[in-house]
Structure 1
Amino acid sequence: MASYVSAWIWSERFWLPENVTWADLERSPPGVEYPHARHLTCALPLAVVVFLFRLLFERLVAKPCANILHIQTGVRRQVQPNALLEKFYQSKTSPDHKHLEGLSKQLDWDLRKVQRWFRVRRDQDRPTTETKFCESLWRFTFYSGIFIYAVYNMWHSPWIWDTRQCWYNYPFQPMIQCQYYYYVAELAFYWSLMFSQFTDIQRKAAKLANYAKYQKLCDAQFVLFTLVFFITRLIIFPFWIIRSVLFESWEIIGPYQAWWVLNGLLLVLQVLHVFWFYLITCIAVKSIFKGKVSKDDRSDIESTTDEEINSNSSKKCK
């Protein structure tokens, strides 16, 4: 059964062009090594190293930076201990009106008091600004480092400027060490996120300036981000990358089963790029009228204190 599943996953008819087998890739010329799937196995143990390094980075680098920028953890309001409400909270953090009324009757509490308890309890579980800053700084540092490495090592590669060379003699192309290290590092980084995906709060690099209350810097970074996104995702990606994979590969090596899947996924990704740029444009338009970058529609709702809610309620009553 296992051999059947393995043969199905690594089907030569699916992954390789016509008349090419896995055995052909094993017979490389002397001094030349072709890429193999087994070369990526080291990414998983390396992901553990990356995850541990991240913990040290956030503790020894990110938190001191947060202190320098006066980004503090903040003091959260604590709820009144209540076993019944805590047990219910573990199963449902935002109860509906019917459940709230039932809990109110069981505890002989005012309905608004029960609502306030759940609101404050949810606020306790929200990550602090310092936590979000540390996570953002880690991602910013990794992405910056890997980008600089890629540019430094691959800038002079001939296929960067002539994409047709990506397909000559495919898949019989020698493995280049700098490219190998780049892909393994990227894969290890994203594997490491598997360990922390349930606790991470995704933030962009511009969020660092936002957390530090540097509004002008935040606005400038947003403008830069918009320009870079437009150039890379709506110009370079479709007219340089997709064009090469879709047309040049067809001309040089011809289509095969994996070719259709790869191009289909790339086209889906391009549709997402258009949609994301639409959201970015909406934010930019709002910022023009408000004078600063408005709240990102893609971000989660930030915590709201009871005082703000009660204040708004009082204003409405008046």
Structure 2
Amino acid sequence: MSNLYRTVLDSFWSEYIWLPPNTTWKDIAPDASSEIQHADYRHLLYPLPMALVMLFLRYVLEKYWFAPVGVSLGIKNTKPKKAPTNTVLEKAYTQSKKWKHKQIQGLAKQLDMSERQVERWLRLRKGQNKPSTLTKFCENSWRCLYYTLSFIYGLVVLWNKPWLWDINECWNGFPHQSVTSDIWWYYMISMSFYWSLCVSQFFDVKRKDFWQMFIHHIATIVLMCLSWVVNVFRIGSLVLVVHDCADIFLEAAKMAKYSGYQKVCDTIFGIFTVLWIASRLGFYPFWIIKNTSIDAPKIVPMFPAYYIFNSLLCLLLVLHIFWTYLILKIVANSLNAGKMEGDIRSSSDDYSEDSKSQ
């Protein structure tokens, strides 16, 4: 069994796949050169305990900072009203979250209740699982703080790096490029944050794009880990800084909405929409993906890992396009309503009386 595991592992980490021609793993080992500090794959374990620290820090900040601020802004921590105990409806509810009119009619007859009473019970039952507005405000505050600090730190770190101003510098001298301490921290903190999101996502406000976000987090982590192992951290750092900038304003817009500052929310959301399209559908595909797929092979000899990295980058682009569609829908609805309506990643647990028409 151990021999099979070793064979599979050696096949997966084949130098032919992951490294340029005439390059071996020994060539980019941490101790391969006294002049160049290559990335150490063993350091990829550090973000795991760091993610636990990140979760603890989030808990402390939400409880002792964000929640008091939210309360001072008038956000109530009211918990939704619970549905009366009813074993028949509870059993039916656990079996399905979507209801057709015929199902509601059958339950009403079985329990000698009106259809409206059954519908009201279902709304209360679904509503009791919803987090309070204060809980959502705290969640958005944490993410807004992280994205703001991460983006600022990323700019500070990359400002004096040549590859920020000339992206082709990501490949000059590759794979023999040194990892500086500031880039090391940028990578480790970013990975710890995405690892923490993979855990907290199952406890946070449930969104209708739950699985798209989960795929996004996993794809980001895989991309970062592989880029670290193969020493492609320069292009990875650019991907990180491009991704962080728009998210600041998304979370800030939600915070303003939950606080009751609708005009502020609308303004911030407008800024977010422009930044999102510019960064996620502009800089990301036409600056980063263009470079990794078209320009990089002209500088570094082609090897199979190009296809792996570009496939993951394109997967993120597909998710960006999906979210852009949701954003533009909200913009259109907001223009019609005169204000931002709903949430770009709203809860899917809302029960609608439209089931009558089904």
Identify which range, 277-286 or 112-121, moves more after superposition.
277-286
Give the 3-state SS of the residue equivalent to 2:256 in structure 1.
helix
Which aligned segments of 4 or more residues in structure 1 are displaced greater than 6 angstroms? none
2:46 counterpart of 1:42: yes
2:190 counterpart of 1:143: no
TM normalised by structure 1 equals: 0.87
1:123 is matched with 127
2:278 to 215, 219, 231: 231
Write out aligned runs for 1:200-211 (5 A). 200-201=204-205, 204-211=251-258
Give the 3-state SS of the residue equivalent to 2:342 in structure 1.
coil
Distance in structure 2 (CA, Å) of the matches to 1:54 and 1:115: 37
Deviations 1:242-274 (A, max 9, x none): 222122210111221110122233334335434
**CA pair 116-143 structure 1, distance change in 2 beyond 3 A:** same
- On the 8 A contact 1:126/1:303 being kept in 2, the answer is no
2:157 is matched with 153
Give the 3-state SS of the residue equivalent to 1:299 in structure 2.
coil
Distance in structure 2 (CA, Å) of the matches to 1:95 and 1:163: 53
Deviation at residue 102 of structure 1 after TM alignment = 4.5
1:171 is matched with 175
Give the 3-state SS of the residue equivalent to 2:128 in structure 1.
helix
2:15 counterpart of 1:12: yes
Distance in structure 1 (CA, Å) of the matches to 2:34 and 2:130: 57
1:21 to 19, 24, 29: 24
Deviations 1:41-95 (A, max 9, x none): 1111111111111111111111111111110012422222223333433333444
Write out aligned runs for 1:85-104 (5 A). 85-104=89-108
**CA pair 28-46 structure 1, distance change in 2 beyond 3 A:** same
2:85 to 81, 84, 101: 81
2:226 is matched with none
Query: Identity rate of aligned residues, in percent?
Result: 38
Deviations 1:187-219 (A, max 9, x none): 111111222212212673310000011011101
Q: Which amino acid aligns with 2:77?
A: T
1:267 to 314, 323, 328: 314
Distance in structure 1 (CA, Å) of the matches to 2:199 and 2:324: 30
2:112 counterpart of 1:108: yes
2:166 is matched with 162
Q: Which amino acid aligns with 1:184?
A: M
**CA pair 155-137 structure 1, distance change in 2 beyond 3 A:** same
Identify which range, 218-227 or 230-239, moves more after superposition.
230-239
Identify which range, 235-244 or 255-264, moves more after superposition.
235-244
Q: What root-mean-square deviation, in Å, do the aligned CA atoms of Structure 1 and Structure 2 show?
A: 2.5
Distance in structure 2 (CA, Å) of the matches to 1:289 and 1:93: 30
1:32 to 14, 36, 40: 36
1:245 is matched with 292
Distance in structure 1 (CA, Å) of the matches to 2:87 and 2:270: 49
Identify which range, 230-239 or 131-140, moves more after superposition.
230-239
1:185 to 168, 175, 189: 189
Distance in structure 1 (CA, Å) of the matches to 2:14 and 2:74: 56
Q: Which amino acid aligns with 1:18?
A: P
Q: Which amino acid aligns with 1:42?
A: Y
2:334 is matched with 287
**CA pair 281-85 structure 1, distance change in 2 beyond 3 A:** closer
Consecutive unaligned residues in structure 1, runs of 5 or more: 314-318
Deviation at residue 117 of structure 1 after TM alignment = 1.3
Give the 3-state SS of the residue equivalent to 1:204 in structure 2.
helix
Q: Which amino acid aligns with 1:163?
A: I
- On the 8 A contact 2:141/2:252 being kept in 1, the answer is yes
**CA pair 289-165 structure 1, distance change in 2 beyond 3 A:** same
- On the 8 A contact 2:61/2:142 being kept in 1, the answer is yes
Distance in structure 2 (CA, Å) of the matches to 1:20 and 1:303: 55
Count of residues paired in the alignment:
307
Consecutive unaligned residues in structure 2, runs of 5 or more: 208-249
